[in-house]
Amino acid sequence: MRKPASAIAVHGILILYTALALFPILLVIMNSFKARKAIFGAPLALPTPSTFSLIGYDKVFGDSSIVSYYLNSITVTGGTIFFTLLFGAMAAWALTEYKFRWNTLLALFLAVGIMVPIRLGSVSIIQLIVELNLINTLTALIFVYTAQNLPLSIFILSEFMAQIPKDLREAGRCDGLSEYNIFFYIVLPLIRPAMATVAVFTMIPVWNDLWFPLLLAPTGGKQTITLGIQQFLGQYITDWNAVLSALSTAIIPVLILYVIFSRQLIRGLTSGAVK
């Protein structure tokens, strides 16, 4: 049993941290429901009947392009998660299970990918995407994000795969499974918690990213929501109602994805713990 004083201290620190982390989000959501004057007049006040206004949400959803920006973001994030998990798991499996000549070197090469920020290569990435004729497409973004996330996901997934007992894959081989079937029917189900972890790690930076959408898909209706919101930020006038409403709604999809994955994550952990 922990001493009450230290328990209070620990909880105090955690509550403080939670408040600190949630405060900006709360501020955004609160103010998204207020009229423009009230936002500036009393930014920390809750919306009251007199200051309550949905004008920001009206503007955001009245603008059909914003809705399509949401869809763009969802497509890019979903596609990135899918390809990162698929190729990451396959590469991790190859690196842990099969012994071939350049195995260690390849693993090291991928580890370097974790250390070097992909943004350093922005100029050559733009050239590459232009050459491929993929500028202003979501495909370009999915490509780049998948490349960006692969090294870390391979690293995490191979750690988990190394823990799968060798006997299991050999039992699969004796049962007549092909190598692909061993991967899809034995390995993948067993590393679901790790996949959920990787999915969460992948999803949030991709959803929030402004850099690559700005470089690779700035126009042509292929903007992601983070970029799309910028149209409300002007040099002289910023439509704060719209910006705050758009930001508030932008939280929802990523929250839903997170709930899905984190439940998976917890289920995976507990099912492994109880023998």
Residue from 4, 176, 220, 234 touching another protein (CB under 8 A): that is: 176
Closer CB to another protein, 85 or 243, in the complex: 85
Q: What is the x/- site pattern for another protein, positions 143-172, by CB under 8 A?
A: ----------------------x-xx-xx-
Closer CB to another protein, 122 or 181, in the complex: 181
CA separation for the pair 92, 106 (Å, rounded)? 11
Question: Residue 269 is which amino acid?
Answer: L
Residue from 43, 189, 205, 221 touching another protein (CB under 8 A): that is: 189
Question: Residue 266 is which amino acid?
Answer: I
CA separation for the pair 56, 35 (Å, rounded)? 8
Closer CB to another protein, 4 or 176, in the complex: 176
- Indicate whether 24 belongs to the interface with another protein (CB under 8 A): no
Q: If you count them, how many residues does the chain have?
A: 275
* Minimum distance from residue 103 beta carbon to another protein (Å): 16
- Indicate whether 118 belongs to the interface with another protein (CB under 8 A): no
Q: Which stretch binds another protein (CB under 8 A): 58-66, 140-148, 177-185, 233-241?
A: 177-185
Q: Which stretch binds another protein (CB under 8 A): 47-55, 175-183, 240-248, 255-263?
A: 175-183
In the structure encoding, which two tokens stand for residue 53, read together? 């206004």
151 CB burial (10 A radius; 0-12, 13-18, 19+): buried
CA separation for the pair 188, 198 (Å, rounded)? 13
Closer CB to another protein, 74 or 190, in the complex: 190
8 A C-beta contact, residue 160 and residue 178: no
Q: Which helix (H) or strand (E) holds 210?
A: none
SS3 call for 236: coil
- Indicate whether 274 belongs to the interface with another protein (CB under 8 A): yes
Q: Which stretch binds another protein (CB under 8 A): 17-25, 174-182, 213-221, 227-235?
A: 174-182
DSSP 8-state code for residue 117:
-
Say which residues have a Cβ less than 8 Å from residue 21's Cβ, sequence separation at least 6. Answer: none
- Indicate whether 99 belongs to the interface with another protein (CB under 8 A): no
Question: Residue 48 is which amino acid?
Answer: T
- Indicate whether 174 belongs to the interface with another protein (CB under 8 A): yes
- Indicate whether 175 belongs to the interface with another protein (CB under 8 A): yes
